[in-house]
Structure formats: C-alpha cells, structure tokens
Structure 1
C-alpha cells in the first residue's frame, strides 16, 4: 500500500499536463462524496459540478463509473455532457448520446432475492432494500445494533446459496450486501467503451470492491494512475484517505489546460 504523497502527486500533475489525450474514470459514492446514512442525501455540490465541468475539455474523456441507477444520474448530471457508466456497467451514456443498456437479462430472480432480503429488513432495524434494474442491494449504514455485521454475513451466505444455480454473484461492500448479474462490472464496461491505447494519461479512482474490477482493467497500462480511497489493500497503485482529497486532486488538475 502506497499513499499518494507530494512527490507522486507532482509526477501525476506533470504527466497530466504533458498529455494530449486523457481518460479520467471516477466512482461516485465514497470517492467524490462521503457516504451518507441515506444514499439519496449524497447529492453533488456546486464545487464538484464546477470541477467536473472544468475537466470536461476536448483533451479529456471524463467518465463517472458508479453502481447508482441511471435515472439518478439523469436527475443530477444531465447538464454536464460527460460519459456515465451506471449500475456497474449495465447502463451507460457517452457524450452527446442517449442512454444504452445491456441486453435485457432475466429478472425473475429478483422476487426470490427480495424475499430473502426482506426477512433481514424485518429483523434488523434501520435497514432497507434498494432495487435496481440489474441488481438488488441491502443497505445497513443506518443500523446501530451490534449484531448488524453478523446479520450482513448471514444475508451474504443466504444470497450466495440462492445464487448458486443462477447467473448471479453476491458481494459485500461498504455497509451493503448486493446481488447482481455476473459479467456486469466496471472493468468490462471500461474495456468495452474505451480503448486504453487511445490515451497517454489515464486516472482511475474508486473506493469499493466494485472498483477493483476497474483497477484490474487498467493494471499495467502505461501512464496510468489508479487510486483507492481509504486504507484497505487494493489492486490500485496508490491510496488516499478521503473523498475530500480526491476532489482536491481533481481541482488541481482541472486548472491545467
């Protein structure tokens, strides 16, 4: 684990300045904004919107890569003509284009997964289910009981057993348990939508397990900086402590032509 210190940041800014084609890939929750008890509260502030707008130049391909649903991005980022990958790659929108979705997958599994999750909502206070088009998430960020981690582990086990005979995978993230279609992930979406050889500078930043797929897709590519937010080990080359440090870095590069 190597933290982004002054010397590394100086080298990053120098290579960014010298580059003619840049790809900037950014997770949202926990990366550009801190986590909130309710995901609906994590809205982008004016400063973040202005920073992203300055980064959205002819030299840059900037892309938000998130697990959030595309309708949320349409509500908050429609005014910015930037690339957006939503639901871990299930939905995406490129500059000056309409939203596109992966081919419709079987969603009959959702009812069974929801029934399992609902049992844990009923037995664990302040937890709730978020249903997306290609995944379902059990949130427990607001839960305060000492047993909630045990409940999360039990739910993970139940859903993993449920997913065995289906084309699904289950993950534990930051105060969430998520079940989604296999093969839909940030790494595959990036490879599909962007030719890494087209760029002489790439920056990828994320904080959660879903971003590891993005980091792997960028691993070994020249002039690439991958950054994990937080102190967990990662495939990413570097770590920073907080989303505020990410936004500070983006602000610094946004003023470089």
Structure 2
C-alpha cells in the first residue's frame, strides 16, 4: 500500500475534476459503501442507505454514459436488499461476488474454505471475552466486529486475535485489521481485481474511485482515474477528503443535483488530517 501524502481535494481542484467529468463520454464510479457513502454505525446491521444516498445513486445510474459500481465488503444479500432496484453493478465480499444489473451473482470458482471452522472458533473466543462484539459470517469471509466495545484492552485483544489467526491459516488466506474489525478472506480476492475487470469492460474515459479503508487501497493502486481517500491514514490515493458528507456533495454535483442554498461543497468540513 502506498504511503505518500495525498492532496487535499479543495474546491479549486474539484472544479478541475468536475470539468473533466463533463467533457468525458463515458464515466465509471467505483464507490465503497461503509465509511464512504454512509458513516459507520455501532451496529453494522443498522447502516441502511438513506433516501439521499439512494437519490444520488439513482440520478447517476439514470445517465447511460455512467457506470456505477458499489464495491463493498458486505454480503450479496445485503447489497441486493439495498440496491437491487438500481441500474448499477454490485461487488460483494471485496470481490468474491459480482452482479451486473439484471444478472445473477457470479462467484469466483475454486475457493478453499476449510480454514473457516478454525477461524470461527478463534473469533467466538473473542466474543466470549467481549459480549458486545460479534462474528459476521459471509460465504467467503469471516469478520469479528468490536465497534460497540469500549476500553483499550479490546485493541490488544484484536491484535492478539490477528496474530492467532495468522498462525492458523494457510498462505492462500489473509487476515487484516480494519476499522474496529478483524477480517479473514481468501488472499487473491480483493476490490482491485474487481475494479480492473469492470473498468476494462466499460472503457470509461473518466474514472473516479472513492473509499476509506485498507481494503480500498487495492482499488486505489489499480484505478486508471482519480482516486479519493475518505478520512485519515496512509494511502495510495491521489486525493483526500474529510468524510461521507463531502463524498455525497461531490457525487451530487456529478449527478446534477443542485446543492441546498448557501451550502458549500464541503458543507463546512475542513480536512486537516495528516497521514498516520
């Protein structure tokens, strides 16, 4: 993962990107969901998209010159429930499953899942220590969530769990720490692989990729267009913005939705983050 300092995406720079978008014939939008289109929730099950997010996506999808792709770690069923009526492409479990509009989900073949039982047991031990934490099981991934747990001791437990899992899994599987999660998935599945394939299919002359977490770095590293990191942290992205409100404002402008009277692009947010 790159660790350079990205440029802060201020109004002047965004005007330049917006002009390039207007001049383009075909546009691709690769958008993470949690932490990008929607703020993180203490309970991940309560992170449904707002009416505002759905309106923005619907407007973007309405233009046949746009390719809109939600690239998420969420499971396929959740993405179908949230976005199934929109004319967009959905990528679930970091690239393990892809569904183009009107088509069934396609899964990557030949994936060994024999590691899941051992990893599930380790995660359940962590839940026994912290009952407010939980294990989320997807078809190709396992995730330990501890966003509802307070105190410094849980961070030490997360680090210890990560080390335990790393010793227990084969080289074809990877474990990573995210924002209050520990996630395990097949190593060759990542968002960058999905982006590369879908970008080649659509051949857009304007590509924008937005994400906030470590899993989004795989997209930033291969995206042929403009890459935007949401929030702090070292990144391979070229630009940085402050939060989900800023994301929605720039997408509104690209979708042709007029801002509220007196509302600036960044809605009062000043991005003063530095790389960690």
Verify same fold: TM over 0.5.
Answer: yes
Match of 1:172 among 164, 169, 177: 177
Structure 1, 133-142 or 120-129: larger mean CA deviation: 120-129
Distance 1:80 1:124 in 2: 38
Q: Write out aligned runs for 1:83-94 (5 A).
A: 83-94=89-100
Where 1:68 maps in the other structure, the secondary structure is coil
1:52 is displaced (CA, Å) by 0.4
Distance 1:189 1:159 in 2: 26
1:243 aligned partner: 244
- Give the TM-score, by structure 1 length: 0.94
Paired residues of 2:56 and 2:255 also in contact (CA < 8 A): yes
Distance 2:200 2:101 in 1: 15
2:274 aligned partner: none
With over 3 angstroms needed to count, the CA separation of the structure-2 counterparts of 1:240 and 1:196, relative to structure 1, is farther
Structure 2, unmatched stretches of 5+, are 258-276
Structure 1, 91-100 or 26-35: larger mean CA deviation: 91-100
Query: What's the C-alpha RMSD, in Å, of the aligned pairs?
Result: 1.3
Paired residues of 2:29 and 2:208 also in contact (CA < 8 A): yes
Where 1:210 maps in the other structure, the secondary structure is helix
- Give the TM-score, by structure 2 length: 0.88
Deviations 1:108-166 (A, max 9, x none): 21111001111111112411100011110000100012201101100110011112x35
Instruction: Please tell me whether residue 53 in structure 1 is matched to residue 53 in structure 2.
Output: no
Where 1:71 maps in the other structure, the secondary structure is helix
1:64 aligned partner: 70
1:185 aligned partner: 190
Distance 2:85 2:198 in 1: 22
Paired residues of 2:86 and 2:101 also in contact (CA < 8 A): no
Instruction: Please tell me whether residue 9 in structure 1 is matched to residue 18 in structure 2.
Output: no
1:229 aligned partner: 230
Paired residues of 2:67 and 2:202 also in contact (CA < 8 A): no
